[in-house]
Amino acid sequence: MEEYVRAAAFLGAAIAIGLGTLGPALGMGMIASKACENIGKYPEGAGNIRSAMVLALILVETTALYAALIAGACVFLGR
């Protein structure tokens, strides 16, 4: 029975980190793409666009970190 609990914990961790990083990765790519487009259109506002992009990237990255924390909790609590 204990092996099933550990297997479920590892499977849950794998799913949490896999799906939990898929969304942020796509979102970060879209943010960077749109920022590059806008810097190309409006080069005089490159500093403001870059600052907004970095702030948005930081906010999106936190969801991937939460997924990593949940995956770690699954692994360590499943022992």
Place of tokens 């499977």: 11
- What is the per-residue pLDDT for 2? 82
Domain parsing of the chain, residue ranges: 2-77
- What is the per-residue pLDDT for 77? 82
- What is the per-residue pLDDT for 27? 94
Question: Could you tell me if 17 and 71 are in contact, meaning their C-beta atoms sit under 8 angstroms apart?
Answer: yes
- Judged against a pLDDT cut of 80, whether residue 79 lies above it is answered with no
| pLDDT 10s digits, 19-74 | 989 999 999 999 999 999 999 999 999 999 999 999 999 999 999 999 899 888 88
What is the value of pTM for the model shown?
0.77
Structure tokens at 12: 């849950």
Q: Does domain 2-77 have CATH number 1.20.20.10?
A: yes
